[in-house]
Structure 1
């Protein structure tokens, strides 16, 4: 895992019962629905300052949702983390508030973790391990990690799932969907919303199965076996189960410790090129992607090595989706907006049967997203990139064409992977030109 500083001030928590979870979420739903209804009444009688009042109402609702999801952890917190990475289908106030959920969650009491280990592995941690740290090494939405030493002296990390998380997924998602609907926040057809939540539910159930994650790790280790500078820690299967995953301890620096002063710009650029290759290989060759690419799931070393963690969320891609995605990228690079419109229909992003979207709209987005790929030779400086600000400034234009587009169910996790890598490139301060590499991958995908 990436090295981090211990914060003893964090308040530990106990798992919420299913009844408590339901009441918390139901209370959140009622409050959000009430706020939305009240705001609609105010708008009906007073047109002045309409946008300002709406922004204040959205900000209040967003912060209440973020606070509740963060407290309950589990499936709803994970969905909040996913939602925070999109500006497309939620007002910007929600994306901003939900960004808080990307930070490390408060840990559970050690007694809760010890009981979960005993339930899953048949004995308490002190019998199964030579050493087992009571202080968590990291805490997240669905589980937390502890450092340990096996009986034969091997240093490992043990990921323990919070009790009851897997049993609450369906009810959590049902309640969250109701909240967003009653809050007037999902201005999408019911069928599209149902498809989007079903995709998220499937990925969450896979992520909650640590035996599935162990298989994913083995698959990605085989695929990347010859990739220099990439390390994927191995599973200790005899100390793993559906809700406990023990892996060899392979440490590196958290992204916050990587700087030009500490690593040198040349090494940082090497890391950036390796990150791009890893992402593109998984997408265009393996047709399976690491679906949770936030900075906490990567660590780095001064020799340019990258360590990848957490393969619970893996999206297996249909070949036709990869083909349509690559064709859409090719059309975008070539400013062929008629072809782009057609491939977006194939991807399920554009609603079929609607008239073609105006080319100026596509050109606006293309001019923003092409910047890191504008030149084959001139390096793009991610440290000074403002792509995310440009996207945010154009977010309101999405609502003008809302009837023409729908949630990209099949490519949702591709977009999430690319967004996650963009943020890492920016935080690392990578300077690189990726146009030639991207074109090579697109040519390879078209020929397949």
Structure 2
């Protein structure tokens, strides 16, 4: 049976404060043990990190809300936290345990102002999906329309600021933040801004309509329509649009040709949003996409949308061109323009840029199809992360473009899981020249 959730601000604060105290104690113990070692014991430090990370991940997963969302972002951002922490948080990417149905019913009736029986022919008790800040249930309107109802967990929006403050304190006291204060301020500021938008379902409804309009000439992209009469700031009702989760995309129903077509369409969606629309779907994980054997792609969850500044898109475009042309002095300047490189620090060794370029650019340098199923770019990146420490003072998290990086990484994993074989060189060049 699901636990009664902690929804009051004071209750959430106490829960997080307990987690913070536990993490701080573990860190202090780790420091004290270190005083008696003649050699730094990396194994013991890793075990200590793992214990702290598990404590934090367990608490965030139980509480849901803003802190769980930050945990999901942190697990994808390798330069944000130690590897042990990212590993522990990976479970937050999976399905969250559901909220009790009576809590969902109360929230729906409170928001829409009528008994559920008047609002819907039925509202299914078993969740269709559950996530960090809301839960989705299937339902049917009285006119027979099948819909899904996205219900925000009670209390998460009011507690957003205090949750983030407490989580940041826990990470700081646990010695888990690996960035200067200024960078942490910027990063948490960006996360807070995106979360505030994501907690506003009226904002998401608007995003769904905007993206629906943007992709209207691409019939192979389906974005669910909003049922305005049954939607508010904390309840969002959408037409039911179904497709296969990536785990159901199997060779008996999807040929390699279809997978490749889907791969090209995923690239087109991503590039159009970045370069043409300058507004991106900022949460591209497997649960937010579905597929059909005719090559159709269904996109869900438009709570996290990042509107990009034109100068950031232009700097990103120029950085890509410079990388492709191996013009590393220009690349250095464009990274400064992006806010990724500290301009007051000396220029970076071109060999360092060349190393990363040769790893990341592989799917875009050849006219021959690249086999994403065999892709190991993520492993090559992980193997080189230690080189970052040499230039720690020269780089900072590119706050304005962090969601672009997140979008690209999310799409890389989808292409890999789908087993796409495609050459994107010509397509990328078309977008870079425009």
TM-score range for the pair, normalised by the shorter chain length = over 0.9
Q: What is the CA distance between 1:278 and its match in structure 2?
A: 0.1
Which residue of the partner structure matches residue 429 of structure 2? Answer: 439
Say if 1:173 and 1:365 are closer, same or farther in 2 by CA, change over 3 A.
same
- Runs of 5+ consecutive residues of structure 1 not aligned to the other structure: 1-9
2: CA distance, partners of 1:272 / 1:179: 40
Q: What is the CA distance between 1:336 and its match in structure 2?
A: 1.4
Alignment of 1:15-414 (within 5 A): 15-375=6-366, 377-414=367-404
Q: What is the CA distance between 1:19 and its match in structure 2?
A: 2.0
Deviation string 1:186-225 (CA, Å, 9 cap, x unpaired) is 2322121111111110100100111111111111011100
Deviation string 1:269-294 (CA, Å, 9 cap, x unpaired) is 11110000000000000000001101
Contact 2:72 2:93 in 1 (8 A): yes
Q: What is the CA distance between 1:14 and its match in structure 2?
A: 2.8
2: CA distance, partners of 1:13 / 1:374: 53
Select which of 394, 410, 414 maps to 1:420. 410
SS of corresponding position for 1:398: helix
| Range moving further from structure 2, 322-331 or 393-402 | 393-402
2: CA distance, partners of 1:425 / 1:132: 35
SS of corresponding position for 2:20: helix
| Range moving further from structure 2, 184-193 or 118-127 | 184-193
2: CA distance, partners of 1:71 / 1:265: 40
2: CA distance, partners of 1:62 / 1:392: 19
Deviation string 1:62-106 (CA, Å, 9 cap, x unpaired) is 111111111110000001111111212211111111111000111
1: CA distance, partners of 2:82 / 2:392: 13
TM-score normalised according to structure 1 size: 0.94
SS of corresponding position for 2:400: coil
Q: What is the CA distance between 1:15 and its match in structure 2?
A: 4.0
Contact 1:136 1:147 in 2 (8 A): yes
SS of corresponding position for 1:38: helix
1: CA distance, partners of 2:335 / 2:123: 50
SS of corresponding position for 1:262: coil
SS of corresponding position for 1:173: helix
Contact 2:281 2:302 in 1 (8 A): yes
SS of corresponding position for 1:135: coil
Q: What is the CA distance between 1:337 and its match in structure 2?
A: 1.4
Contact 1:115 1:124 in 2 (8 A): no
2: CA distance, partners of 1:101 / 1:26: 20
| Range moving further from structure 2, 211-220 or 330-339 | 330-339
Contact 1:332 1:340 in 2 (8 A): yes
2: CA distance, partners of 1:203 / 1:53: 36
SS of corresponding position for 1:252: coil
Task: Kindly indicate whether structure 1 or structure 2 has the higher relative contact order, using CA contacts under 8 Å at least 6 residues apart.
Answer: 1
Say if 1:78 and 1:345 are closer, same or farther in 2 by CA, change over 3 A.
same
1: CA distance, partners of 2:113 / 2:13: 31
SS of corresponding position for 1:245: strand
Q: What is the CA distance between 1:365 and its match in structure 2?
A: 1.2
Say if 1:325 and 1:47 are closer, same or farther in 2 by CA, change over 3 A.
farther
Say if 1:103 and 1:167 are closer, same or farther in 2 by CA, change over 3 A.
same
2: CA distance, partners of 1:82 / 1:89: 9
Contact 2:34 2:40 in 1 (8 A): no
- Runs of 5+ consecutive residues of structure 2 not aligned to the other structure: none
Which residue of the partner structure matches residue 4 of structure 1? Answer: none
TM-score normalised according to structure 2 size: 0.97
Which residue of the partner structure matches residue 6 of structure 1? Answer: none
Q: Please, what is the CA RMSD of the aligned residues?
A: 1.3
Say if 1:89 and 1:14 are closer, same or farther in 2 by CA, change over 3 A.
closer
SS of corresponding position for 1:410: helix
